[in-house]
Each structure stands twice: as C-alpha cells, then as structure tokens.
C-alpha cells in the first residue's frame, strides 16, 4: 500500500515539474515587447518594454559632471543670482580680498561663486548635501572647523535652521574675536531683528538694513563677534 502511494506521489511530482517547465518555456519564448496592449495604436514607440536588464534601451548617455556644472553656471538664472549676491556683498562694506569667509547652508553655492568673482580668495561653503567644487558637505549645527578661523560667517538660511540657537552659536564659534557674523532674512524689523540678534549670544549687534537680494526684499543683520550682546 505504501509503495503504491509513493509511486502515485512520484507521478504527481513529475507532472507538476513538466507543467512548470512548459510554463517557463512559454514565458521565455513569448516575452512581451511593449507595455501597450497589442490592438492599441502605437503613438509612442519609445515606450518599448526591455527584454532584459542588459537591453541597450536602458542605457542612458553619460553626462560629464564638469560639462553639467558649466551648463548650470552659464544659465541665465544662475548668473542673475550670482550678480545679485555680488551687489549684496559689495554694499556691506565689510569685505576685502583677504577676508576669510564661511558661507553656512550655502545651497548650490551662488554666494560662494559671487565672493570668488569679487576677488575674495579664501571662501568656504558648507551644506548638508555637497555641491562640489563650490560647497562641501558639513552639518551647520556641528561645523568641522576650529574656533576663530574665519573673519566672516554668512548665511541666508538661519531662519530655516532646525536649531537656530545652535546654528548661530556655530557661526560665532568659527569666527575670530572682532570678526563678523552676517545673516540675511525675509524683510523684518523691530522685535524680529532683536530676536534674531539675540541668537548670537557672544556678539554685539552692529546694525540691520533692508536690502534686495535675488529679487526679494530682505533684511541684512550684522553682528560683531567677541563682544557680549548685553554690552
């Protein structure tokens, strides 16, 4: 009896294996060439379904990173923003070619390029995500620099920081005594300026003025590091 059952199971297994093999062969020999139903008019031939991961249609043209950057840097939008930053920095009257500048949360690096185009040779830009060669990766809340190594720290993104007090403190820490922390925020005045200046606990408020930057009305706030804001 047991021998009979064993033979039966072997036959069932053989049948299942045969069915599976036939199914695989069918799928292999009838791989669909398109994601579109057969009777649908083909208006977009580029939607061809790849037959394998080695299908040449999956290969995308290689774009040289240097050429990609040059294309970005020569765009009208980029040049316009860089020009706006140049005007912004020149009007501050606190920079010269030897000023060591740190740009915190520098994004794609518009302000870094603007400073370099002005002749400032020592400019460092940092952001959570790098944008080489203008901006390196670093946490604005934990800057990888020694104390007092810069003459000026600048940011246009203080109000967007998750920890603004820590953000401002790191800017102060990396700037030498007598140096400057400069931020630009959406146009504001009075109590709002005082609140922002109060984040820089080791600095003295120098001044605030309304400016235009990349087509927006904003307020520039300047702090002198090394002098308590309470003095």
Q: Indicate if 114 and 29 belong to the same structural domain.
A: no
* Residue 230 is assigned to a structural domain of this protein: no
Q: What is the mean pLDDT of residues 97-113?
A: 97
Q: Indicate if 54 and 71 belong to the same structural domain.
A: no
Q: Indicate if 31 and 79 belong to the same structural domain.
A: no
Q: Rounded to an integer, what distance in angstroms lies between the CA atom of residue 216 and that of residue 208?
A: 16
CATH of the domain at 159: 3.40.50.150
Q: Indicate if 216 and 146 belong to the same structural domain.
A: yes
Domain count, the chain: 2
Q: Indicate if 6 and 91 belong to the same structural domain.
A: no
Question: How high is the pLDDT of residue 22?
Answer: 82
Looking at the predicted structure, is the pLDDT value of residue 6 above 90?
no
* Residue 7 is assigned to a structural domain of this protein: yes
The model's pTM: 0.73
121-169 per-position pLDDT tens digit: 999 999 999 999 999 999 999 999 999 999 999 999 999 999 999 999 9
Question: How high is the pLDDT of residue 230?
Answer: 43
Question: How high is the pLDDT of residue 27?
Answer: 72
Q: Please name the residues in contact with 112: beta carbons below 8 A apart, sequence gap of 6 or more.
A: 103, 106, 123, 124, 125, 134, 135
Q: Indicate if 7 and 24 belong to the same structural domain.
A: yes
For residue 40, count CB atoms less than 10 angstroms from its CB and return exposed for 0-12, middle for 13-18, buried for 19 or more. Answer: exposed
Looking at the predicted structure, is the pLDDT value of residue 112 above 70?
yes
Among candidate residues 13, 34, 58, the one where a domain is terminated = 58
Looking at the predicted structure, is the pLDDT value of residue 4 above 70?
no
145-157 per-position pLDDT tens digit: 999 999 999 999 9
Going by C-alpha positions, the residue among 15, 14, 47 that lies closest to residue 32 is: 47
């Amino acid at each position: 009896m047991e021998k009979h059952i064993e033979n039966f199971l072997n036959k069932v297994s053989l049948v299942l294996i045969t069915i599976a093999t036939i199914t695989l062969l069918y799928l292999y020999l009838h791989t669909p060439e398109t994601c579109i139903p057969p009777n649908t008019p083909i208006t977009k031939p580029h939607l061809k379904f790849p037959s394998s991961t080695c299908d040449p249609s999956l290969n995308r043209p290689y774009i040289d990173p240097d050429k990609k950057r040059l294309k970005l840097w020569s765009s009208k939008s980029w040049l316009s923003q860089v020009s706006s930053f140049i005007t912004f920095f020149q009007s501050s009257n606190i920079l010269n070619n030897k000023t060591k500048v740190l740009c915190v949360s520098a994004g794609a690096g518009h302000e870094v390029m603007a400073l370099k185009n002005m002749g400032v040779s020592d400019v460092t830009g940092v952001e959570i995500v790098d944008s080489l060669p203008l901006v390196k990766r670093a946490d604005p809340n934990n800057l990888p620099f020694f104390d007092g190594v810069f003459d000026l720290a600048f940011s246009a993104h203080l109000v967007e920081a998750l920890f603004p007090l820590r953000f401002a403190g790191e800017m102060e820490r990396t700037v030498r005594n007598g140096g400057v922390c400069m931020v630009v925020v959406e146009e504001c005045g009075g109590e709002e300026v005082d609140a922002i200046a109060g984040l820089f606990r080791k600095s003295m408020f120098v001044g605030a003025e309304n400016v235009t930057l990349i087509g927006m009305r904003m307020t520039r706030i300047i702090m002198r590091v090394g002098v308590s804001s309470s003095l």
